[in-house]
Structure 1
């Protein structure tokens, strides 16, 4: 029976606990830690783990418990230090997205896992979904042909109170705005499906949240060898209609699910009726997708538990988490410096270090409120591609 600790007992911790509870024959949540006085003890019953011991110090929890795995569900700026501490204590780690606000932090986390022989996984739960898995299977099949253009709409909506929470809305504590903390889901999927781009251009703004320093809207263009991908990152889109649309030479496929395949008349214009045979072949491949046994956080937790038990690489490791942060970093650098940024980023790039964003990023507005906690449930978007 694997012993699990949860560091951070805010709203996202609920998804971790529920995920572990799906595998009660394999693991047990035995400890909760939160630096807010009394919060871990209070949250035990709410999370359905009343038997878990509560701590207000990570060091105390790691010293007192014989843990196999911890979930880190704290603000992004704390991820690196907590992850390194757990790995050095001989505990495997599943850390929430984003992995960390800087590539230097990511590399320190990866090094700690390697040096201590531990497993490090970064949450990217949208890879564990039937709709995204189906889209990847179709792209991998080659039926759409070489990719020419991709539109990624990471469209979320958050009201002004969202940024009143103490750690949100500043470059120092949140590490960034919607590009880092919301669109990283879709950016990870873009990397998973297409690989890393050669270069990035971007613009950033704060269009609707006068109580936050950080951006609430960015638009980036990713340059591949011949293809382009447009990525909109937003918390200003009413309805949260999220989508990934992939245009290939032979067909277009997208989630929410849609397939279109055009063929040319002799003059190059699209022929009426398109290519029904190719559409049928793609639809048949999609229909043959074998549903995942567990989706979302539960799906990733299932994989991480198996990795801990079998001492193997998890499906999503620290390098995967780092690649997503590298792409976000390139978007920020391109938007702030107003130039095209080539990938990969080197350790000599100023934006590799943690302090550069804090130093150079624009403060669109001043953060005007700082509350310790907020009531209400987490909502995760209005379309299947949002969850």
Structure 2
């Protein structure tokens, strides 16, 4: 094994920025050997003290025996092909969400990782926020009692200029709208915290604030993992954009997770709080958030490979969220207001 962990990054678009910052922070552990892109951005890799090869051919990185894993930060429509090539070359993959354009391709991708016996980690960085981890512990240890109800809200904003970019909000490039592209992070966390057994009713809309192919507003009623009531709202039409919120009512208190801030009010009068700094990417600047959770996710992924264990966020885990999104869309009444 080399002294440092050899990696390649595929894609240098906006999604690569928190990965590049994390890779710089972890440069003593990680040797970023290649950045693979069709659209060179040499300025984005310039801060690296060690040389990073900027290449257009993925095979150049895959043929390097020192590359052990690949971060894939490209549009969803490319994921299955790129990951298949990485697995065939014996490389582990850390994949930006979503898995793929649709449920069938997502299942194929997860199955491929299983067939090759390689790690497939998925970038759901909200799972690594300190507030999320504290709330998960509160729920798992029973401090909030039995969950009676829970809700999830993603009141985000994206301007029309965002959707005017080639392929944004289309089935061909993104695979979907607010559910698959924006709310998927919070839905994945919500599932981990309280579970979702089924979708009772769903309303999918295209509001008059956007001209786009896919949905920008979804409301739904849910049945949680223990049979309790749940509800959901996700949108990119709520100007100027507000932090996503998860609320949980338990028999021993209630919890409110707002972005990366947490308040838990216990019936005993005790108050548990976790505060953070920085935005959540809910508004016009979609990159307005700390890269620290990305760094922790990347660290966990490397440790998982070294320790021969599953990473905290696996392909199978991500597939559950794709199944939920599919259920929300299949159950939906569709309207355009």
TM bracket (short chain)? 0.7 to 0.9
Contact 2:61 2:67 in 1 (8 A): no
**Shift of residue 58 of structure 1?**
2.1
Q: How do 1:143-182 and structure 2 match up within 5 A? A: 143-182=143-182
Alignment deviations for residues 55-95 of structure 1 (CA, whole Å, 9 cap, x no partner): 22323432356411111101112112211211111110000
Q: Distance in 2 between matches of 1:198 and 1:328?
A: 11
Partner of 1:232: 233
Partner of 1:271: none
Alignment deviations for residues 1-30 of structure 1 (CA, whole Å, 9 cap, x no partner): 111111110011111111122222211111
Residue 30 of structure 1 pairs with residue 27 of structure 2: no
Runs of 4+ in 1 over 6 A off after TM superposition: none
Partner of 1:369: none
Partner of 2:15: 12
Contact 2:156 2:237 in 1 (8 A): yes
Partner of 1:354: none
Partner of 2:279: none
Q: Secondary structure at the match of 2:14?
A: coil
Q: Distance in 2 between matches of 1:313 and 1:260?
A: 33
Q: Distance in 2 between matches of 1:64 and 1:5?
A: 10
TM-score scaled by length of structure 2: 0.86
Alignment deviations for residues 227-266 of structure 1 (CA, whole Å, 9 cap, x no partner): 12111111112341321111123321111333445xxxxx
Could you say which structure has the higher strand fraction? 2
The structure-2 alpha-carbon separation of the partners of 1:49 and 1:196, relative to structure 1 and needing over 3 Å to count, comes to farther
Q: Secondary structure at the match of 2:196?
A: coil
Q: Secondary structure at the match of 1:157?
A: coil
Higher CA-based Rg: 1
Q: How do 1:322-337 and structure 2 match up within 5 A? A: 322-335=319-332
**In structure 1, which of residues 254, 257, 262 is the aligned counterpart of residue 256 of structure 2?**
254
Gaps of 5+ in 1: 262-274, 288-293, 339-360, 366-387
Contact 2:6 2:32 in 1 (8 A): yes
Q: How do 1:64-143 and structure 2 match up within 5 A? A: 66-143=66-143
Partner of 1:201: 201
Contact 2:101 2:171 in 1 (8 A): no
Q: Distance in 2 between matches of 1:72 and 1:304?
A: 13
Partner of 1:346: none
Q: Secondary structure at the match of 2:331?
A: helix
Q: Secondary structure at the match of 2:324?
A: helix
Q: Secondary structure at the match of 2:80?
A: helix
Contact 1:88 1:112 in 2 (8 A): no
Q: Secondary structure at the match of 2:197?
A: coil
TM-score scaled by length of structure 1: 0.75
**Shift of residue 141 of structure 1?**
2.4
Partner of 2:306: 309
Q: For structure 1, which segment, 74-83 or 118-127, has the greater mean C-alpha deviation from structure 2 after superposition?
A: 74-83
Partner of 1:279: 269
Gaps of 5+ in 2: 275-290
Q: Distance in 2 between matches of 1:68 and 1:162?
A: 35
Q: Secondary structure at the match of 2:126?
A: helix
**In structure 2, which of residues 238, 243, 251 is the aligned counterpart of residue 241 of structure 1?**
243
Number of aligned positions between the proteins? 313
Contact 2:199 2:331 in 1 (8 A): no
Determine which structure has greater relative contact order: mean sequence separation of CA pairs < 8 Å that are 6+ residues apart, divided by chain length: 1
Alignment deviations for residues 132-153 of structure 1 (CA, whole Å, 9 cap, x no partner): 1111111122232221211211
C-alpha RMSD of matched pairs (Å) = 2.3
